[in-house]
Structure 1
Amino acid sequence: MNRKTLVLTAVAGLLTPALTACGSTSGAGAGSGAIVVGTTDRFEASEAAPAPFDPAHAYDAGAWNVLRQTLQTLMRTPRGGGEPVPEAASKCHFTDKGNQTYRCILRPGMKFADGDPLTAEDVKFSIERVLAIKDENGPSSLLSTLDKVETKGEDTVVFRLKTPDATFPHKLSTPAAGIVSRKKYDARKLRDGFVVDGSGPYTMKAEVKGNELVRAVFTRNPNYQGDLKPQNDKVELRTFGDSGTMGEALNDGKIHVVSRTLSPAQIKELSANPPKGVRLVPLPGLEIRYIGFNTDAPAVKDKAVRQALAAAVDRGRLVNKVYGTSAQPLYSLVPGSVPGHVNSFFNKYGDGDTQTAANLLRAAGVKTPVKLTLNYTTDHYGDGTAAEFAELKAQLNATKLFDVTVQGNEWATFRPAQKQGDYAAYGLGWFPDYADADNFLAPFLEQDNFLGTPYANSTVRTKLIPDSRRAADRTLAAPAIEEMQNIVAEDVPVLPLWQGKQYVAARDGITGAEWSVNSVSDLQLWELGQGMRG
């Protein structure tokens, strides 16, 4: 697919005033009292994706990190992880033993940032809007178990589920359930551009050049009524084209914090020899990387080819050579630190086992070398991605079983092409919506899945996913969770590669860096402060 370089006319009209709202990007921003946070995430409004910050469309970590500052959800993930707690709601609970009816009561006096009242009808509108729009790149699949939303008075919302779903409170903590105003969002149409209106701890103004956001300024919302306690009045999120330039800005004091994404080399250097006034903060992380397959594509349609790839890849060598201590090999879609994890791929194929790969191809009558292109995105997951795919190519070609080439494209081109099935094999990452094994399996295996994959397993879809969601005690879901991981290892619609760790780099005088990103990679700007502050 050719890259769409022009912004839609409607989008351009929305972006023009944003330029004057924030001024120039010159200087550190510190003079205005803002804490400046650097990121290599790119935010682009294109013809294929004109509404990057509409909660009915946004479904990537970067966009969600903007929405989490500006939109409230009924529930939220606590700063240290764990079960969700009320945010816009004062309390929420299942009202039945079958986990099919969930009731939430809003906090009293709720308002949007512009002062308009926020009621149960706005909650109902917001969630029904995501389902009605059902954007092909959006998060509507997270709400697939929802049957209908009811309101009782101005403060009570009742969710009726199609099937039992003990993970539903987690889903209400994601931007898929972000609350927007009925006055400012169309019920059946995306809101183009970079404008966001909500009731979260901050309001946001965007500075845009061409079709890309270069800076977002978050200012404390005086009408915020949730339980978060912002430790600052203003934060600026500034985008950089690469981690090297971002690192220089941190070292020079032009920015205060770096969240996403430090390169493996930077992490190594900051660990061993941090510049004066800069510290590296390691944080728990659940990010995973994997190769996905279009199982209808001729190159990988034969399951034996995908199985042979699973056997041939040496994850340990890949991680050591490219990522060092910032990652670890992964042998399941479910990370090792999440309850229910099993090393299904290692148990079945080992690691870097060329002989097993050869046996699988020979038994299936597959002619070798198998020609295959591995596609990856050049600008979405950090500077290590190109080196990672170079290493994968070298490993696979060294077996003489594969003839691999690699192709990199910018995210704005890569993601639409992947979704429409242009790639036989492609590299993606997953930052979980919530820290439950369900969220590392269902988004890849359900009918309306994140990948748009043609792969379907009826046992997984009709039995194992529903069975795993019945258990309020998540340890009781382990048998179904484990069986799904083993099925994935057998069929290989996805090939897990590694699990990442998280790091934040911050200058001296910045407090709260250790809480600024939680275990599911939520950016929590409200935790950042300057100097000693309560």
Structure 2
Amino acid sequence: MNRKHLVLPAVAGLLTPVLAACGGSDSGSKSGDAIVVGTTDRFTATKDAPAPLDPAYAYDVGSWNILRQTVQTLMIQPKGEGDPVPEAAESCGFTDSGNERYACKLRDGLKFANGDAITAEDVKYSIERALRIKADSGVFALMSDIDTIETQGDREVIFHLKTADATFPYKLSTPVAGIVNPADYDKGKLRDGFDVDGSGPYTLQTDVKNDEIVTATFAKNPNYKGSLQVSNDKVVMRSFADADAMGAAIEKGDIDVMIRTMTPSQIKKLDAGTDENVELVDMQGLEIRYLAFNTNAPTVKNKAVREAMAQVVDRGELVSKVYGSQAEPLYSLVPATLTGHSNSFFNKYGNPSVTKAKALLTQAGITTPVKLTLHYTTDHYGAATKQEFEVLQKQLNDSGLFNVRIQGTPWATFQSASRKGAYDVWGMGWFPDFPDADNYLAPFLDKDNFLGSPYANNKIRNTLIPESRREADRLTASKSLTDIQDIVADDVPVLPLWQGKQYVAARNDVTGASYALNSSSTLQLWELSRGSDS
């Protein structure tokens, strides 16, 4: 087995406020042999979440990865790194000096997969629909800076923003800004089930059993017109119950590519070269894991309890025991590889110390041991999640300051329960909507935050976030971003734990695996093809 290390340029996060144009081609492999991709992501429709693939609702990495293949956005994140580039748009850019007016011109001749023409009014309809529905997933908040949307003719769309937002081009690259056909998507309600109709590089057909996708078939869209080169005619995605079953399938050749989520032991085994027919690709990732707190819950309402947990948790031991070289300790919500990162939690708490944690609790008059339940999802972030929470439980209990139990719940129930405030402390992962420090702060701390957190800091919301968004040069925004991270370390509404790498495994006759995921964990099926590896 050969191992590939994909090294991408450092993320600078610079957004240049000028109009940019980008063309595209539409070549594709004629092999006719579908590439089969395995994943442990589960796609389930439930009573609480009946519309998992509606762009106005979907807000998890798995659902977004389906939408990114099928629903086109004005902008798109590039193959490697860098600023977003036009996709459904021919050109986009800020047209004022204050980053408050953003104009896009659509490509000529855009069509939905069914042949219907796409106009500027469809773009306006799609984004206003998400803002109108205001789904409880919180995804609409990505578009909440929009004041009004104006159209000029069939091809021009102008966004008037409430405040300056240099990150807006990135936001237009996310699925919530996806263009949908008004004939298929009601303006006032979500579209239940798993049907997706758009103008992206693929159309979608699903095999559904018991309200869950078993296989998703992506067929090349003959009406697609955008910036992407589609290198295959068909990709089939199979959802597996666990990583072991997925691993067995790639060994037998039943699947060609294996994406998220592999276990640490699987990655170690593949890295050792045990299967000469399968290649492992590792690359920089921007995934983070953290604990979230319901700061109104009696068990953790007192800040001293949250501070004491931050003082006790040993990230180095956690990563070493569970993930090894596949992750690194994280001392901020913002990954260490992004412009604007600050080690705020380490600066405040230093190395783990039971003595310091005890002093915090004693000073606040908290009776120990503090009883807590840490909740985690059993089937969304990988099989190692349970082991991770067992390590956290042991660290906290061994301090003598906490009496912690852990509780695992399937994702379909977990995500809606956490949003409704059912948990006091729960574990989450974050795959960025776009690679900018703002996207690791505002979604957790701004109003309408996706966690449904009651935590609110007026300085963060009213001063620091707006300040940082005014700066097109993200280096210049670092002061405001650092101040936000320092406040988070002081108040601990969330507790960052680690930052992970990402991996793709592919059989040797599949090319393009190095670009099957970008650093934001965006799935790029159009990069895959069959042929000898070069």
TM-score range, shorter chain: over 0.9
Residue 157 of structure 1 is matched in structure 2 by: 157
Equivalence map 1:197-236=2 (5 Å): 197-236=197-236
Separation in structure 1 between the aligned mates of residue 485 and residue 317 of structure 2, nearest angstrom: 23
Name the amino acid aligned to 1:102: Y
Residue 426 of structure 2 corresponds to residue 429 of structure 1: no
Whether contact under 8 Å (2:138, 2:448) holds in the other structure is no
Aligned runs of 1:403-418 on 2, under 5 Å? 403-418=403-418
Residue 526 of structure 1 corresponds to 526
For residues 322 and 284 of structure 1, what CA distance do their matches in structure 2 show? 19
3-state DSSP of counterpart to 1:140:
helix
Aligned equivalents of 2:203, 2:104: Cα separation in 1: 25
Q: Name the Cα RMSD after superposition.
A: 1.2
Match of 1:298 in 2: 298
Matching of residue 346 in structure 1 with residue 346 in structure 2 = yes
Aligned to 2:8: none
Which residue number corresponds to residue 460 of structure 1?
A: 460
Letter matched to residue 73 of structure 1: T
1:492 correspondence with 2:492: yes
Query: In structure 2, what is the equivalent of residue 441 of structure 1?
Result: 441
CA distance in 1, matches of 2:129, 2:532: 42
Q: Cα distance, 1:176 vs. partner?
A: 1.0
TM-score, length basis structure 2: 0.93
Query: 1:170 maps to what in 2?
Result: 170
Pair 1:143 & 2:151 matched: no
The equivalences for 1:242-321 within 5 A come to 242-321=242-321
After TM superposition, the structure 1 = structure 2 runs for residues 15-54 of structure 1, keeping only pairs within 5 Å, are 33-54=33-54
Does residue 323 of structure 2 align to residue 323 of structure 1? yes
Quickly say closer, same or farther: Cα 1:205–1:85, change in 2 above 3 A: same
The letter of the residue matching 1:372 is L
How far residue 424 of structure 1 moved from its aligned partner, in angstroms, is 0.6
Tell me which residue corresponds to 2:5.
none
CA offsets, 1:339-395, max 9 Å, x none? 111110011112322111111111111111000000000011001100000010011
CA distance in 2, matches of 1:323, 1:73: 35
Q: Matches of 2:356 and 2:74 in 1, distance apart?
A: 50
State the AA in 2 paired with 1:431: F
- Tell me the CA shift for residue 309 of structure 1: 0.2
Alignment check: 8 A CA contact 1:231 1:533 kept:
no
Q: Please, which runs of 5 or more residues in structure 1 have no aligned partner? A: 1-30
Match of 1:11 in 2: none
Q: Is 1:335 the equivalent of 2:348?
A: no
**Whole-angstrom distance in 2 between the partners of 1:133 and 1:301:** 31
CA contact (8 A) 1:51 1:193 kept: yes
Does the CA contact (< 8 Å) of 1:56 and 1:133 recur in 2? Answer: yes
Looking at structure 1, the residues matched to 194 and 136 of structure 2 have their Cα atoms a distance apart, in angstroms, of: 19
Distance across 1 between alignment mates of 2:392 and 2:533: 47
What residue number does 1:24 align with?
none
For the residues of structure 2 that align with 1:93 and 1:149, how far apart are their CA atoms?
15
Matched residue type, 1:490: D
Question: Structure 2 CA distance, aligned partners of 1:464 and 1:356?
Answer: 30
Distance verdict in 2 for CA 1:32–1:215, change over 3 Å: farther
SS of 2:108 mapped into structure 1:
coil
Which residue pairs with 2:27 in the alignment?
A: none
Corresponding residue of 1:69: 69
Distance in 2 (CA, whole Å) between partners of 1:467 and 1:409 is 39
Alpha-carbon contact 1:274-1:280 (below 8 Å) kept = no
Q: Tell me how far apart the structure 1 counterparts of residues 51 and 286 of structure 2 sit (CA, whole Å).
A: 27
Q: CA offsets per residue over residues 71-111 of structure 1, 9 Å max, x none?
A: 00000000102100000000001010000000000000000
Deviations 1:179-214 (A, max 9, x none): 000111100110000000000000000000011001
TM-aligned CA deviation for residue 533 of structure 1: 9.8
Determine the C-alpha separation between the residues in 2 that align with 1:33 and 1:86. Answer: 30
Counterpart residue number, 2:23:
none
Shift of 1:474: 1.0
Partners of 2:446 and 2:323 in 1: CA distance = 31
Return the offset for 1:276.
2.3
Q: Is the 8 A contact 2:508 2:533 kept in 1?
A: no
Size of the aligned set, in residue pairs, is: 505
Residue aligning to 1:391: 391
Percent same amino acid among aligned pairs?
60
Amino acid at match of 1:386: K
Which residue of structure 2 lines up, in the alignment, with residue 369 of structure 1? 369
CA gap of 1:532–1:225, structure 2 versus 1, over 3 A, is farther
Would you say the 8 A contact 1:137–1:450 is kept in 2?
yes
